[in-house]
Chain A
Amino acid sequence: MSSPEMIEEFVADSRRSLQQLEADLLLAERNGADEELIGRAFRTVHSMKGNGGFLGFTTLVELAHEAETVMDMVRNGQLTLEGNLMDAILGSVDRLMAMLDEEGLGEGSSVEAEVAALRTASGEFDELASDDLDQVTPESDTFPQSDAVAVTGPGTVLHIKAETQAMRKAADCRKGLVKGLQEAGEIVGGDVEVQALEDANGVVEFRLRTDLPADMVADLYHIDPQNIVEVPDPDAVQEATEPNSDRLRPVDATEASRKASAEGGDPGALTRRSDTIKKPTPEAAPVPAPAPAPAASPGTASILRDSTPSGTGVATKDSKAANSPVETGRSSGGGGTTVRVSTRFLDDLLEFTGNMVMARNQLLSRYQFQDDISFATLSRCITNVHKSVVQQRMQSIGTLFDKFYRIVRDLARKLGKEVDLFIEGGDIELDRTILEAFSDPLTHMVRNALDHAIEPPEERTAAGKGRVGRLVLRAYHQSGEVIVEVEDDGRGIDASKIGEKAKARGLVSDKELARMQPRKVLDFIFAPGFSTKEAATDVSGRGVGMDVVRVNIERIGGVIEVHTNPGAGSLFAFRLPLTQAVVSSSLISALVVEVNGQRFAIPETAVNEIIRVDPQDMQDRIREMEGGHVYQLRDRVLSIIHLEDALGLERTWTDASGVVRPDRRQRIGDRRAAESPEMAAKMANRRSLLDRRHTKQTLVVIEFRRSYFAIMVDKVAGIEEVVVRESPKLVDMVHTFSGHTVLGDGSVVMMVDIHGIVDQMGLEFPDEDGQPLAVRGALKTAQQMIVFDNGPNEFFAAPLMMVSLIEKVRAEEIRTVGTREYYQFKDATIPILRLEDHLDVASNRDCKEYHLLLPARLAKPVGLLVGMDLSVEDFSESFDSKVDHGFGLIGTAFRDDRLVMLLDLYALFEKIMPELFQAVDHARKNEFKARVLMVEDNMFFSKLVASYLQQPNIDLTITYDGQQAWDLLVKDGERFDLIVSDIEMPNMNGFELVRNIKHNPDLRHMPVIALTSLADEDSRERGMKAGFDEYAVKIDKEDLLGMVFDYLNRVQQQTQMVGRQ
Chain B
Amino acid sequence: MIDMCVFTVGGSRYAIPVWSVEEIFRPVDITGVPGADDRVAGIINLRGSSAAVIDLRRCLATGDSSDQVESIKHRMILLESTEGLIEDAVKMGVDAFEEPVVLLADWVHHIDRCDPERRHPPPAHLNRKFVVGVYERDYGYLAELDVPAIINDILVKGSD
Contacts and interface: CB of A to CB of B under 8 A. Distances in A.
Given A648-B35, A734-B35, A734-B36, A727 B43 contact: yes
A734 B40 CA distance: 12
B43 A731 contact: yes
A728 B31 contact: no
B48 A648 contact: no
Interface stretch (B49-57, B68-76, B137-145): B49-57
Interface stretch (A105-113, A745-753, A1000-1008): A745-753
A722 interface: no
B115 interface: no
B93 interface: no
A731 B33 contact: yes
Interface residues of A, number: 27
Given A727-B43, A731-B43, A737 B33 contact: yes
A817 interface: no
Contact of B31 (A355, A358, A736, A747): A747
Interface in A716-751: 725, 727-734, 736-737, 740, 742, 746-750
A740 B43 contact: yes
A358 B45 CA distance: 11
> DSSP class of A's interface residues: helix, strand, loop or mixed?
mixed
Contacts of B37: 730-731
Interface stretch (B8-16, B84-92, B125-133, B150-158): B150-158
Contacts of B154: 730
B32 A734 contact: no
A725 B34 contact: no
B66 interface: no
Contact of A746 (B35, B45, B159): B45
A350 B60 CA distance: 38
Contact of A730 (B31, B45, B52): B52
A358 B54 CA distance: 25
B136 interface: no
Contact of A736 (B35, B51, B158): B35
Nearest to B150: A730
A649 B101 CA distance: 24
Interface in A589-619: 598
B64 interface: no
B29 interface: yes
| Majority DSSP secondary structure for residues of B touching A | mixed
A223 B83 CA distance: 47
Nearest to A725: B50
Contact of A729 (B29, B42, B48, B155): B155
A240 interface: no
A359 B47 CA distance: 9
Contacts of A728: 43, 50-52, 99-101
A748 B36 contact: no
A1011 B95 CA distance: 62
Contact of A750 (B33, B51, B99): B33
Contacts of B155: 729-730, 733
B2 interface: no
A307 to B, nearest CB: 40
Contacts of B49: 351, 355, 725
Q: How large is the interface on B (under 10, 10 to 19, 20 to 34, 35 or more residues)?
A: 20 to 34
A727 B52 CA distance: 9
A497 B49 CA distance: 53
B99 to A, nearest CB: 5
A730 B50 contact: no
A647 interface: yes
A687 to B, nearest CB: 29
Contact of A748 (B50, B97, B101): B50
A358 B35 contact: no
Given A740-B43, A742-B45, A747 B29 contact: yes
Contacts of A737: 33, 35
A598 B101 CA distance: 22
A1008 B40 CA distance: 58
Nearest to A650: B34
B44 interface: yes
A630 B50 CA distance: 38
Given A728-B99, A729-B155, A748 B34 contact: no
A733 B158 contact: yes
B52 A731 contact: yes
Nearest to A352: B48
Contact of A598 (B32, B100, B151): B32
A354 to B, nearest CB: 8
Contacts of B32: 598
A352 B154 CA distance: 29
A736 B34 CA distance: 9
A730 B34 contact: no
Nearest to A355: B48
A677 B145 CA distance: 55
B40 A731 contact: yes
A647 B45 CA distance: 21
B31, B34, B44, B158 interface centre (most CB from chain A within 10 Å) = B34
Contacts of A352: 48
Contacts of B52: 728-731
Given A725-B50, A740-B50, A748-B50, A730 B35 contact: no
8 contacts: A355-B48, A355-B49, A727-B43, A728-B43, A730-B151, A730-B158, A733-B36, A734-B35
Given A728-B100, A748-B45, 14 more contacts: A355-B48, A355-B49, A359-B48, A598-B32, A728-B50, A729-B52, A730-B54, A730-B101, A731-B42, A731-B52, A733-B155, A733-B159, A747-B29, A747-B45
Interface of A: 351-352, 355, 358-359, 598, 647-649, 725, 727-734, 736-737, 740, 742, 746-750
